[in-house]
Amino acid sequence: MTLRPASASDLLIDGKLTPGSGGVFDVVNPATEEVIGQAADATAADMDAAITAARNAFDTTDWSRDHAFRAHCLRQLRDALLAHADEFRELTIAEVGCPSFLTHGPQFEGPVTDLGYFADLAESYEWSRDLGKAKPMGIKNHRELRSEAIGVVGAITPWNFPHQINFAKIGPALAAGCTVVLKPAPDTPWCAALVGKVVAEETDFPPGVLNVVTSTDHELGAQLSTDPRVDLVSFTGSTATGKKVMVAAAETLKKVFLELGGKSAFIVLDDADIGSACAMAAFNVVTHAGQGCAITTRLVVPREKLDEAIAATRDALAGLPAGDPTDSGTICGPVISARQRQRIESYIELAQQEGGTIEIGGGRPADKAAGFFVEPTLISGLDNSARVAQEEIFGPVLVIIAHDGDDDAIDIANDSPYGLSGMVYGTDEDRINKVVNGVRTGTMGINGGIWYSADVPFGGFKQSGIGREMGVAGFEEYLETKAVARPA
């Protein structure tokens, strides 16, 4: 099978590849601004059909009870996708604008390989647990706990790491025995739609178990949130939109999983190597042009070493320019769209209005006549109350902030509505552990440590979300617990 990414990609509904009732919409390469193809544009009627298919597949088949078969289908999907790896890499770079090196990690290969972890979990999980005998009210009973799939899952995903986020939802949901309707972002429809094509043509997934609905209509996400036939909505995106999803889902009291925004702190202690720490902070913030919710975008450094840290970070950013994502040496590619670039530029302008200094960057690369590129940017001269230090920019923009000791650094990190990620650099283990224990965040790296893995739960504190993705904890988000008792 050839994926043919330049042609219109169909919806996957009830096991069939079908055109969208709304026609097609353009797919744009963010590095060139060229239209590179079309995707199917679904309507509310298409979404209704997908929900109907998912509901029927859950209610009328053995999908939720046949753990071995689910594991087989997930491994089959993993192997089929990896067989098309070169095609997926090419289309992902073109559609997402991500640097090519990332397709060997979280932009394709990593999350696809992770499907095997969830296949293994479907087979090894303790689906029932014996609680033994007891005498409630003097009556002998034998009790057990059973774990069962929650039902139909509506998965609403963003454009920044589409494969990683799509599979972080559909992998554990399918492994748990749920059926899924996936609504990807309109900026990156191919990454989802062409997975649907592989599912339909190269796997044994039963009709309706996985449905993929691409559309420019954001109301289709709201449709998933309000439809009573959907049992859980899993949403990744902005905190503002996540709040709307939660409100919409409240009417039917469906479970909501939310993975939302971040403004994570990179804390440098006064015993750390400033040059190494600042180089890592610079690398982090420009990776995929800063378009990641868990990227550390506040660099919190000792006040007495502020000038040294600014110079080191500025030098590091100078060596990480925005470039062609097809080039294997590029770390910072384009941002996803003209609208996103304008948003980032408005924050850079705001920083200057608030009294900040642009140490490097702040504009568009002079050598890029086309493409949605933003120069890697370092902002100094502002404290943590500035809007650019409090609000998620989602671009290659780093704000450097001075701290007055470890306790102050922890306070600065926690002085945020978010709590998704973080990093600490230092040499004294007791001080490092104090920071790790003190910062209220869902993930934390030490001296460059990488927490991302299939078996590690990911999610945040505060307004960074509700629940966890990945790992056993992420798998269990898609389960209900049933207590069963019988006379002993």
* Cα distances (Å, whole numbers) of residue 370 to 324, 345, 365: 11, 16, 10
Whole-number CA gyration radius for the chain: 23
C-alpha–C-alpha distance, residues 117 and 148, integer Å? 19
Residue-wise pLDDT for 214-228, tens only, equals: 999 999 999 999 999
Instruction: Write the pLDDT tens digit of every residue in 121-135.
Output: 999 999 999 999 999
Q: In the predicted model, what is the mean pLDDT of the chain?
A: 97
Structure tokens at 72: 């087989």
The pLDDT value given to residue 7: 59
Contacts of 124 (CB under 8 A, 6+ apart): none
**DSSP per position, 85-114:** HHHHHHHHHHHH---GGGGGTTTTHHHHHH
Q: How confident is the model at residue 178 (pLDDT cuts 50, 70, 90)?
A: very high
Question: How many Å apart are CA 405 and CA 370, to the nearest integer?
Answer: 45
DSSP secondary structure, 157-172, as one string: --SSSHHHHHHHHHHH
Task: State the amino acid at position 261 in one-letter form.
Answer: G
Q: Helix-strand-coil percent breakdown of the chain, rounded to 5? A: 40, 20, 40
Residue 443 structure tokens: 């993930």
User: Which fold would CATH assign to domain 265-446?
Assistant: Aldehyde Dehydrogenase; Chain A, domain 2 (3.40.309)
Residues 303/404, Cβ–Cβ less than 8 Å: yes
Report d(CA 51, CA 49) in Å as an integer. 6
Provide CATH 3.40.605.10 ranges for the chain.
8-260+464-487
The residues, any chain, with a CB within 8 Å of residue 381's CB and separated by 6 or more, are 355, 356, 357
Tokens for 112, please give them: 């696809």
- pLDDT of 112 above 60: yes
- Of the candidates 458, 473, 469, which has an alpha carbon nearest to the alpha carbon of residue 264? 458
Confidence of residue 314 (pLDDT cuts 50, 70, 90): very high
Residues 386 and 230: their CA atoms lie apart, in Å, by 40
pLDDT at 1: 60
What pLDDT, in 10s, does the model give residues 252-263?
999 999 999 999
The span from the CA of 339 to the CA of 319, in Å, is: 26
| Beta strands 397-403 and 296-302, pairing class | parallel
Q: How many CB atoms lie within 10 A of CB 81?
A: 25
Instruction: Report CA dihedral (175, 74, 207, 156) to the nearest 10 degrees.
Output: 60
pLDDT of 413 strictly over 90: yes
User: What is the average per-residue pLDDT within 336-343?
Assistant: 98
CATH 3.40.309.10 in the chain, residue ranges: 265-446
Q: Can you give the pLDDT at residue 59?
A: 98
- Please indicate whether residue 259 is annotated as part of the active site: yes
- Residue pair 321/334 in contact by the 8 Å Cβ criterion: no
Indicate if the pLDDT at residue 143 is higher than 80: yes
pLDDT digit string, tens, across residues 184-236: 999 999 999 999 999 999 999 999 999 999 999 999 999 999 999 999 999 99
Work out the percent of the chain whose per-residue pLDDT is above 70. Answer: 98
Show the beta-strand stretches assigned E in 96-213: 128-134, 141-149, 152-156, 179-183, 210-212
C-alpha atoms less than 13 angstroms from C-alpha of 178 in its C-beta half-sphere: 33
- Identify the band that residue 6 occupies on the pLDDT scale cut at 50, 70 and 90: low
pLDDT-derived band at 9 (thresholds 50, 70, 90) equals confident
* Adjacent-strand bridge partners of 164: none
Widest CA span in the chain: 81
Q: Which of 95, 259, 469, 477 is catalytic?
A: 259
Rounded distance, CA 98 to CA 100, Å? 6
In contact, 354 and 290? CB cutoff 8 Å: no
Stated as kind and residue range, the H or E segment containing 424 is: strand 422-425
Tell me if 397 sits within 8 A of 297, measured CB to CB. yes
Long-range contacts of 203-206 (CB under 8 A, 24+ apart): 203/73, 203/76, 203/77, 203/80, 204/69, 204/72, 204/73, 204/76, 205/15, 205/73, 205/77, 206/15, 206/57, 206/61, 206/63
CATH architecture, domain defined by 8-260+464-487: 3-Layer(aba) Sandwich (3.40)
> What is the distance between the alpha carbons of residues 413 and 436, in angstroms, rounded to a whole number?
11
